[in-house]
């Protein structure tokens, strides 16, 4: 059903937001985080495209509101992980540049409308390389 698909999309969006928050606060990018970001985008693309392959469940202009709805939950989840959980959700909310995280999220989501599933992974990786710590990750110096 449409509701079940939207819930799945939201769960991948939550995972995406958590990793973008961790990336921003820690100013680094691990191979694991990059893989989670990339996979979240790929899964969202697959889920979002309706069976007719021409329409989307979530239209590009609807993401802003959905991201805002998931942001607090992402802060809660990320607070347990960022810097080994030293920040509670209130502290993390003060530290995070919400606008930047939301812009990065929207930029990555926009790629799902612009590129085929075949090309998406490579293009997402190039975009991830522009995140904080992305150059080190791309060059293999993230270890």
The answer to whether the predicted template modeling score (pTM) of the entire model surpasses 0.85 is yes
**49-103 per-position pLDDT tens digit:** 998 888 999 999 999 999 999 999 999 999 999 999 999 999 999 999 999 999 9
Mean pLDDT score of the chain, rounded to an integer? Answer: 96
**Distance between CA atoms of residues 19 and 37, nearest Å:** 7
DSSP SS3 for 56: strand
Amino acid 135: pLDDT: 94
For residues 78 and 61, what is the distance between their CA atoms, to the nearest angstrom? 26
DSSP letter assigned to residue 58: S
CA 79-84-89 angle, to 5 degrees, is 15
């Amino acid at each position: 059903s449409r509701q079940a698909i939207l819930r799945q999309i939201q769960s991948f969006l939550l995972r995406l937001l958590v990793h973008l928050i961790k990336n921003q606060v820690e100013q680094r990018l691990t191979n694991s985080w990059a893989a989670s970001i990339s996979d979240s985008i790929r899964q969202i693309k697959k889920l979002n495209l309706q069976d007719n392959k021409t329409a989307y469940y979530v239209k590009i202009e609807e993401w802003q509101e959905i991201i805002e709805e998931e942001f607090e939950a992402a802060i809660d989840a990320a607070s347990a992980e960022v810097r080994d959980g030293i920040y509670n959700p209130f502290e993390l909310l003060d530290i995070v540049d919400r606008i930047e995280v939301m812009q990065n999220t929207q930029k990555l989501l926009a790629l799902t409308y612009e590129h085929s599933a075949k090309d998406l992974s490579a293009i997402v990786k190039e975009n991830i390389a522009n995140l904080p710590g992305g150059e080190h990750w791309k060059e293999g110096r993230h270890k």
